[in-house]
């Protein structure tokens, strides 16, 4: 059975995940380093891991399977989930692939180096209604793709 794993600490689409999961009767694991308010629903399971930079990522990567979906903006976590043949979607609806994570990791490292060695500042663009809509469409597509394989 397909389950959804949410890297929850900074996820802006948790409520959208809950709605889609309820429609499809899917379990959602909301994984974070601290407790947070989640909807009261037997399908939604809160997982609070030890405090640490990669503890939530480790829990997700250790538990996800090839029938599951990860929701994360974290490129290294996306890469780990893809290596387990899981579907991975960013909060803006962009699906991660093996090819896209390699390029994204390279750009992430380059930008990090540039910020450390210069006055370069970078800002993330604001999360939009279009991002939310794209996310909902991508999540629905991922669920349908997994169901077709089964």
Tokens of 112: 């990090």
pLDDT of residue 121: 61
Mean pLDDT of 32-37: 89
Helix then strand then coil, % of the chain, to nearest 5: 45, 15, 40
pLDDT of residue 126: 80
Please determine, for residue 35, whether its predicted confidence score (pLDDT) is greater than 80: yes
Please determine, for residue 87, whether its predicted confidence score (pLDDT) is greater than 90: yes
Q: Where exactly are the structural domains of the chain?
A: 3-149
- 69-81 tens-digit pLDDT: 999 999 899 999 9
Burial class (CB within 10 angstroms; exposed 0-12, middle 13-18, buried 19+) of 130:
exposed
What is d(CA 33, CA 77) in angstroms, rounded to the nearest whole number?
15
3-149 is a CATH 3.40.50 domain: yes
pLDDT of residue 110: 57
- Per-chain mean pLDDT for the chain: 88
Q: Does residue 117 or residue 1 have the better pLDDT?
A: 1
Q: Does residue 13 or residue 118 have the better pLDDT?
A: 13
What is d(CA 30, CA 11) in angstroms, rounded to the nearest whole number?
10
- 91-125 tens-digit pLDDT: 999 999 987 766 666 555 555 666 667 765 655 66
């Amino acid at each position: 059975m397909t389950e959804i794993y949410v890297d929850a600490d900074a996820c802006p689409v948790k409520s959208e995940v809950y709605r889609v999961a309820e429609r499809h009767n899917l379990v959602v694991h909301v994984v974070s380093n601290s407790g947070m308010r989640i909807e009261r629903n037997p399908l939604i399971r809160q997982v609070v891991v030890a405090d640490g930079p990669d503890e939530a990522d480790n829990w997700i990567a250790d538990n996800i399977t090839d029938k599951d979906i990860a929701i994360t903006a974290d490129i290294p976590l996306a890469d780990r989930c893809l290596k387990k043949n899981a579907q991975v979607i960013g909060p803006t609806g962009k699906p991660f692939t093996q090819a896209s994570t390699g390029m994204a990791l390279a750009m992430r490292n380059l930008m990090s180096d540039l910020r450390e060695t210069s006055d370069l500042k970078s800002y993330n663009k604001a999360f939009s209604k279009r991002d939310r809509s794209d996310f909902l469409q991508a999540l629905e597509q991922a669920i349908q793709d997994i169901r077709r394989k089964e």
